[in-house]
Amino acid sequence: MDEQITLEGLSVRADQTGAFAVLARLLVHGLEAEETVRALHAFTEEARQRREFPAALLAELLRVKGHYCRGETGVAHAAGLAAATLAREIGDDLAEAHAHKWLALIAFDEGRSKDGHDHLLDALAGFETAGAPEELPTLTRWYGEHLAFLGATEEAQRALRLARERYLDAGDLAGARALEADIAAVALKQGN
């Protein structure tokens, strides 16, 4: 039976735990180190050749995060697309949702609002499907903030209220309180 493996905040289904031990050792220099992202790329390719797809998938997701944190959004984008495709092929909804979350961040950073919006919706749907409610409050907040940025104030308020409810459901009172200012700002913007 597969188990869930989490490394650097990313989770995937795992059936080759030996490969995951090797992957964990690759992170000794830190995820953002040049030697780490190079090693992750090599590991991903080798794991794919060995048909160890869950290990390859986690390495690809870590590579996305590493390149993104290094400011290498072009490489991170390519790795994110590869991770989303592999996750979809092996049926790992949680990993695919993580890939779309990173792709949304990358797209927003690069000024590609429509792509970011689409990836954000895919991430939200994926985390819901995968039963990962802990990701939903923050992503719902991002969604509301993006709608507000686009000028869709009524939709933004609905999304931000939903995010507040999700923070409350998760027991995160500070997160819920922080949204009050966002909701008020959008209401003020709507009044203008």
Q: What is the DSSP string of 106-175?
A: HHHHTT-HHHHHHHHHHHHHHHHHHT-GGGHHHHHHHHHHHHHHHT-HHHHHHHHHHHHHHHHHTT-HHH
Where the chain has pLDDT below 50, the residues are 1, 7, 10-12
The predicted structure's pLDDT at residue 4: 52
At 32 the three-state DSSP class reads coil
Helices and strands: H and E segment counts in the chain: 9, 2
The predicted structure's pLDDT at residue 36: 85
Cross-strand partners of 113? none
Q: How far is CA 180 from the centre of its chain?
A: 24
The predicted structure's pLDDT at residue 1: 42
The predicted structure's pLDDT at residue 147: 95
- Which helix (DSSP H) or strand (DSSP E) does residue 91 occupy? none
Give the whole-angstrom CA distance, residue 95 versus residue 13: 8
Domain borders along the chain are 1-111, 132-192
